[in-house]
Each structure stands twice: as structure tokens, then as C-alpha cells.
Amino acid sequence: MKIRFLLDENLSPRHKNALWRYDAGIDVVRVGDSDAPPLETLDPEILIFCEIEQRLLVTDNRISMPMHVRDHHARGRQHWGVFRTRRRLSIGDLASELYLFWEASDAEEWRDRMEWIPY
């Protein structure tokens, strides 16, 4: 199964367009989109959405997300991966990295993993 992405609301909507320039078939939504959680949704709820919808979360939440992921697991839940972006990562560089993961790996490979991007 191909990776399906959810971009958190702190990432620009331009990230989706940059990713679609690589392949318009990439399944990516952003918090605040009509088929995603609304803006200001709390991180624990975002993780539940990602689990149910089988989406890998891409976030720039570097500080509290590890705690939310630990709590999520402590409740017996799983997730489809969390990529935390490094500071000063450009829109183009992030799109390039996400495309590489989308093209070269399967969604199952990222289950319950939290990684930095670039990797």
C-alpha cells in the first residue's frame, strides 16, 4: 500500500502543491482540508485520525509530538508513521524527501515509527 500523508496545520498548504508536482496521484491532505481534521485539532486527535485513515503524519511539532506518540501507544493504539521536519527545511526539499519515501517504500514500513526528515 502506498503512503498516504497528512500534513499538520503548521506546514504551508504550498507543501501539498510541491508534492503533487512530483506526482499528482500522491494522496496528501492537510489539517483544515475538507477531508481532514479541522484547524486547531489537538495532536492526540490527529494521531487517532491518522490511525483510522491510515495516514503518515508530517509535522514540525518537534517538542510535544514524542510525548503524544508515547501516550497514544500507552493507550494500546498504533499509527502509520510520524515524520518530524528539521528546522529550515524548504518546501521544495520537504516535497523531494516525501516523494522519495512515497516512491520507494510501502506504508506498512512506517507503522509505529517516528523519524526525522530529512532522514
pTM: 0.95
Domain extent for 66: 5-117
Q: How many separate domains does the chain show?
A: 1
pLDDT value for 87: 84
Predicted local confidence at residue 63, as pLDDT: 87
**With contact defined as beta carbons under 8 Å apart, do 38 and 32 qualify?**
yes
**Grouped pLDDT means (10 residues each) for the chain, 119 residues:** 96 96 98 97 97 97 92 96 92 96 97 92
Query: What's the sign of the alpha-carbon dihedral 40, 55, 13, 116?
Result: positive
Query: What's at 79, amino acid-wise?
Result: H
Which residues lie closer than 8 Å to 82 by C-beta, 6 or more apart?
47, 56, 57, 59, 65, 69, 113, 114, 115
Which CATH number is 68's domain given? Answer: 3.40.50
- Residue 65's pLDDT is what? 93
Answer whether 88's CB lies under 8 Å from 14's CB.
Answer: no
pLDDT score for 118: 87
Question: How far from the centroid of its chain's Cα atoms is residue 65's Cα?
Answer: 12
What is the largest distance, in Å, between two alpha-carbon atoms of the chain? Answer: 38
Looking at residue 36, its pLDDT comes to 98
